[in-house]
Structures are given as C-alpha cells and as structure tokens.
Structure 1
C-alpha cells in the first residue's frame, strides 16, 4: 500500500510541494486548503488598492497532477493517531504530514490592533481593506518592513487623493543599502507618503494610532503590517516550534520532535548548514517546496535526503506599478550597494511574481529559482 502524504496549505510552498511529492514519490497525496482559490499573497497590496487580480482555482493549478484537493480548514493535528481534524467534521489520516499553512499577522501585542486595524496577510483581509479604503481620505500603514513599504507605495500611487502615512518603530528600509534607502525615500517623496520613523505604536483606535510618545496620528483606516507568525496549529499539537510558532526543522525540513512531520515556507523555522535562518518570504517558500518533495520521496524510498542548499540573491520590492527596488544581497541576505530601480526594476519584479505563479502549475520551473536541495550527503551550503 502506498503511503498517504497530507499537505496543509496551498500557498506558494504547499501547492508545488504537493505536486512534486505526488510526481516524485508516487505516494497518495492530499492537499488541504481552506479556500478553493489560490491566493497570490504577493499581490494582496494591489487588491487592497482596488486593482483587479485574476483569480485561479486550485482545481485549475492541480489539473493532471494526481493530487487530491480537499477544500476545508484544518482545526487540529493528532500526532498520536496521525490524523488531521477538519472544520467540516471529517478527519484525515496520514503517514507523512507537511505543514505549509503560511503566516498570519501579529495583532495581539498592541491594544486595539485586533479590533481597529486591518492586517494584510490573506485574501479576506485585502478585500475588507479595499472596501474600507474606498470611503477613506487618510490611512496609516503600521510597519516598515517590505509588506508595509509595498502597501504604502501602492495605495499612494493608486489613490493620489489619499493621505498615506507610514509608521515604523525603527528606520525605514533598515535592511537595505544606502542606495536602496535613498531610492525608497525619493519614491515616497514623489508619491507624497508621510514617513514617521522611530515611532512605535502603543495603541490603535477607531480614529487612528497612538504612538508611544502619546501623539495621536489620525487615520480613517489603519493597515497593520508590523509582524507575522505561524498559526497555532502545530504548537497546539505539541510539535516543537520557535517563538513565532514556526516548526523547528532539521536541514531536510523534518520536524525535530515528530519525524513524520515536515514544514515548508513561513511555517518552518529553517536554517542552512552554516546556521543562517531563512526569512519568511516567497523567495524561500519555493525552494523549500522542492526540498521537502525530495526529502519525503527519499525517506519513503529508504534513502537519506540531502540538506537544504540555499542562497539569497536579491530582495524585490514593488513601489507601485511603475517603480520598484531590487536590492542585491550576499548569500546571507545582507545588502550590497548594487540596486536596480525604476521601470526596469518594476518589470523585473513583475516577472518574478508571474514566475512564482507559473511554478504552481509547472513546478519544474522551481529548478530556475536560486538555491535548492542537494542529494549529496554532507553537501556544502
């Protein structure tokens, strides 16, 4: 009898992982997702800004793969019984479980954020935000990371009459090079985005945000982009996780506490052999999908899988539809001074986004992504 592999989550990592596992191992593979639609998470700021993005169904992207799709929400994992409980009342047994549930916004650390701020981590979030912004004259984006930067730029470009403020607890673009930060400030100046640095938010109210200094920043809508964590499903199941709820995995993406559980993408606290931790990003989700498919296939065939091999190349940041910033980085993700900006960078970013979507239907394209797994034991990273 073939092993049954259950994959939870059909995002940038989960969907190609399911396809590749079915293709390479021949195992019966079931993909569980709460929605019948594939969410292009890297375009959610465009949706929030009112742009129409073509939606694709899981059935469309899984056609011909042999993967069984279950549209339901996983509510619990019983690691003793090797079962996943579903919101619809059913239970799925598994021999191997792959967690690919992505990440959610952290809204419980600041009073009022859960009640009054709109996160930007899922399709429902962006749709609600789009509706609220249609009636708004001002918006405060909280968070100076890539999500906050992209959201602020997109909103300012799409809605020229909207007053956009970006609030960040630190320096804007702190992870970028000096040239990258200069370009970011030029674009925000052109778009009219009001930047408030070193301005941690202490409270969110219906009429805006209150800074730790006591200053009130008025806003009709507050967009929350101040951090992400993994869902609580793995932690609640007793699987070893880190402080952000990500499953602690070895170099083959296998849980360190439960050998029949793997994790990919934002759900995994993954490191390369030199100790570098991989950040939450589509750029790491896609290569990790390829790695977990090979690792699961090898283990089911009685082979020892090789470690994850990965290196960063760049960070691609959209700044509206007509500008972008491609920040080139060293293999450990630290920036160099080389950047690509303007329309050519926007075209580059759009090509990357379209390629990530194409890889969902044709996961062989993942071979073109930076890094990847090695079948050689002891391979250098």
Structure 2
C-alpha cells in the first residue's frame, strides 16, 4: 500500500483527495484526508454568511462517503518531510509516502491592529462572528479594507443586507482595477447605487478598536472593520523546511511537486504555481484544476509514468454585487480583460452557475468523471 496524506479539505483539497482515491484505487493507494473541522466550508460564499445568509451545511463524512478515504479531524502542527510524518495538535502523528498540501492561505495581518481588531474570512466561525456583530448594530459604519474581488463582494453584500449601516470601502487602487472599462463602470454604478463610500488611495497604517488610521494621520471611525487586503501561506510550510516564496506559498515544479521535497505536492492557494505569464493568484478558478492535476501526477508516478506539465488559463472574473446584481469580466488566459462582459440578471445566472455548490463536482469525481469546465481550465483553454 502507498499511504497518501492530503492536508486541508477546502475546495482544492477535497477535489485532490477524491481524485487521488479514484486514480490510485488499482495501484494500492490509501488516502487519508486531514482537516481542522468536520464540516466543509464554502469559502467563496463567506461574504454571504457575514451578511446573515444561512447556507447549506455539509459534513465531510457525507461528502467523502463511498470513496474509501479516511477522514481525520485535527489541526496540523508540523511536517517532517525527512521522516515523512505530519504531527497534529494534541500529539497525534501520521506517516505518509506521498503528501498533498492543500492548507490554503490565511489573512495577512502584518498591519498593526489587524489581528486584534479586524474581522477576517479565515474560517466559517469568523464570518459568523462578523454577522452577529453587524446584526447587533442599529446604526453605524462598517469599513471594508481592500478593493479586490473579496472586498467588493463583501462591501456590496453587507450594504444590501444592512441598508441602515454606512459601508466604507478603502482601497489603494480603484475597485475592480483588473477589469475592462465597461465592466468597471458597471461596478462603480453598483457601488454608488448601494450607497457605498469608496475611498481610493487609502493606505491603512493601523486598525483601532473603533476605527482605522490612514497614512498622514487621518482617522476613520468604524463600528466593525473587515480586512480583505491580502493573504499568505501558513507558516508551517516554511517551518518544515519546504521551499516557499515571499508569501509563504510552497514553490512547485510543473507537476506541482515541491521543488525541495518531491514527495510533497502543493495545490490551490498554498502553492506558487508558475505559468508562462507569471505565478497563479489564489482563486477557486485555478485551485480546483491544480487539485485535479496533482492527483493525476501522483497517480502517474505510482504507475511508473512521467507526469504531464500543468497548464492553466484564466477565463473570467465573476463578481457578485449583492444578491440582486453581478458583473462578469471575461479574460484572456493571462487574466487580462477581454472586451466582453456580462451584467445584471445574465451575470447573476452565470455567477451562480460557476460558483454553485461543489457537491455535484464531487459526485462526478467519485464516479471517475471530471466536470467539463474543470477539464477546460486545466487544459489551458480560455
């Protein structure tokens, strides 16, 4: 038997575990999936949770049913690539022959006061705490720091769900700066329609219990601050001796193996995956194809075959603008904007389709099938 350990049961880790179990069934693969929670978290929808929406609850045991995968609930404390062991909080140690690292990223809290006073989306519980905090406010100001996809989706979702609160979006650049002019103008209109105050050129130097401080000393009052300005990998990878980049993501080769420890594969947000146009940025769009490819690479290696190089091309930038609006910017494979975009109801339908619950994807994978969209992305089509 070959013991295969998968760390992290987010979108990417769950895909990798199921695909690996299916592809190594005949070659003696024994897959164990480790996750800190027994529940599957739809991280793409945490802004909806923060706005007070109740989403379906999925037990990982049910998701993995019929795959033969062993589920271990525990938080990773350390990795010893030399002895091929993973230690969990509480003292339990798991051995492995091959490891797939899918622990994702956490919020970068390097700005003073973020860790103590800001809300984040590091897990489901954090989004629930923000929802409860906002639900207790009858009036006040909510500051959303960061004008990327997560910041814009959060600001619009919260403004729509809590019209009695004043939402301020603070960003260094323009919201939706990566989009084309048409989609960007539509996004600007949605922010204005929802009454969101947008402050560009905002350089936050400190988060306080009741506000944020900008470079130059200006103070902006806040009854709740949501921090979405950036992420980084968990420190456990670097502490374990794995080669990482400046954001603590594991550096991988074309087969998604660690360049320093080839028995370790890294996928999703936790991996620094190089393509001809640069390093992938963390999205579910790119994460799931890396999980599929790592599983296939590992299975090929166990059969004595060479792994194919990973190729990926972006297709779109989908952004919800509350529950009643959305905009979709279609892109070239390098994520630069094309001329085409969708808006309004057509964009809502598109967004809900591509960002729907991954449960159908997991059911297909159990049967040895790969969703057409995932195949297209991982083949670099777009």
- Band the TM-score falls in, shorter-chain normalisation: over 0.9
Q: Specify the alignment match of 1:125 in structure 2.
A: 126
Gaps of 5+ in 2: none
Specify the SS of the correspondent of 2:278.
coil
Residue number in structure 1 paired with 2:43:
41
Structure 1 SS opposite 2:371: helix
Residues 8-62 of structure 1: CA deviation (Å, up to 9, x unaligned): 0001100010011011012000000000000000110000000111110101110
Contact 1:290 1:372 in 2 (8 A): no
Say whether residues 1:92 and 2:91 are aligned partners: no
The CA distance in 1 between the partners of 2:214 and 2:359, in whole Å, is 39
* Aligned match of 1:301: 303
1:141 aligns with 144
8 Å CA contact retained: 2:159, 2:165: yes
> CA offset at residue 213 of structure 1?
2.5
Aligned match of 2:168 in 165, 169, 185? 165
Report how far residue 331 of structure 1 moved. 0.8
What's the CA shift string for 1:237-295, capped at 9, x where partnerless? 000000111100011100000010000000110022x2532110000111111101100
Aligned to 2:280: 278
C-alpha deviation, 1:318, in angstroms: 0.8
- Cα distance, 1:372 vs structure 2: 5.0
Q: Kindly indicate whether residue 182 of structure 2 is the aligned counterpart of residue 179 of structure 1.
A: yes
Q: Secondary structure at the match of 2:167?
A: strand
> With structure 2 as the length reference, what TM-score do the two structures score?
0.95
Structure 1 equivalent of residue 3 of structure 2: 4
Q: What CA distance in whole angstroms lies between the structure 2 residues aligned with 1:295 and 1:308?
A: 9
SS in 2 for 1:121: coil
Question: Whole-Å Cα distance in 1 between the matches of residues 84 and 240 of structure 2?
Answer: 11
- Which is worse superposed, 337-346 or 235-244? 337-346
Q: Offset at 1:320? A: 0.7
Flag the 1:315–1:357 CA change in 2: closer, same or farther, 3 A.
farther
Pairing 1:368–2:370 present: no
How far the C-alpha of 1:357 sits from its partner, in A, is 3.9
8 Å Cα contact 1:62/1:361 also seen in 2: no
Aligned residues: 374
Mapped contact 2:293–2:378 kept (Cα < 8 A): yes
Quote the Cα distance in structure 1 between the aligned partners of 2:67 and 2:128: 30
Indicate if the aligned counterparts of 1:290 and 1:366 stay in contact, CA closer than 8 A.
Answer: no
Tell me what 1:334 maps to. Answer: 336
- In structure 2, the CA distance between the partners of 1:171 and 1:280, relative to structure 1 (3 Å rule), is same
Do 2:63 and 2:359's aligned partners in 1 also have CA atoms closer than 8 Å? Answer: no
1:1-381 matches, within 5 Å, as 2-26=1-25, 27-108=29-110, 110-136=111-137, 137-272=140-275, 274-354=276-356, 356-363=358-365, 364-369=369-374, 371=376
CA contact (8 A) 2:42 2:357 kept: no
Shift, 1:135, TM fit: 2.0
Distance across 1 between alignment mates of 2:371 and 2:204: 39
Shift in Å, 1:373: 5.0
Within 1, Cα distance between the matches of 2:310 and 2:114? 37
Query: Per-residue deviation at 1:122?
Result: 1.5
Indicate the SS of the match to 1:69: strand
TM-superposed CA distance for 1:174, in Å, is: 1.2
| Kept after mapping to 2: 8 A contact 1:154/1:320 | yes
Q: Distance in 1 between matches of 2:57 and 2:219?
A: 39
- Cα deviations by residue, 1:72-111 (Å, 9 ceiling, x for unpaired): 1111001111000011321000000100001100012x11
Q: Give, in whole Å, the separation in 2 of the partners of 1:293 and 1:372.
A: 16
Higher mean C-alpha displacement, 256-265 vs 359-368: 359-368
Cα deviation 1:166-195 (Å, max 9, x = unaligned): 000122211111111101110011100000
